[in-house]
Amino acid sequence: MRMRTTKAISISLPPADLKLAERLAKQTNRSLSGIFREGLKRLQNERRTMGRIADEYTPAQRRAIDADIAASMADLKYGRVHGPFDTAADASRYIERVAKERSAAKKTRRPAR
């Protein structure tokens, strides 16, 4: 007699979640068990990946990154943004123009006495 390699379990789901799972199963041509196995694998992969990412930075590096992100979000909130640009060439032309304007502005300032 062959031994079973899987184990049947019972789970409880809200009706909306069951409906979603059934719809996904139908759309992806999988069984409900296949949908939940895939979800479990993805969750496990995500946790592994996030763990590796979290270990890549020291606490000081993480604080610096968080501060840069906060500053960027503040810039966005207060409208200190440029673009959007249709192409990378458009963005490059904009950067070059701004650099020239700033350079010219520095040259026209009088030296401090």
Tens of pLDDT, residue by residue over 71-80, are 999 988 888 8
Tally Cβ neighbours within 10 Å of residue 2.
4
Domain range list for the chain? 15-81
The predicted model scores a pTM of 0.43
pLDDT of residue 32: 93
R_g of the chain, CA atoms, integer Å: 27
Question: Can you tell me the distance from the alpha carbon of 23 to that of 2, in angstroms, rounded to the nearest whole number?
Answer: 33
Q: How confident is the model at residue 54 (pLDDT cuts 50, 70, 90)?
A: low
Tens of pLDDT, residue by residue over 85-106, are 889 999 999 999 999 998 888 7
Which of 7-11, 24-28, 102-106 has the least mean pLDDT? 102-106
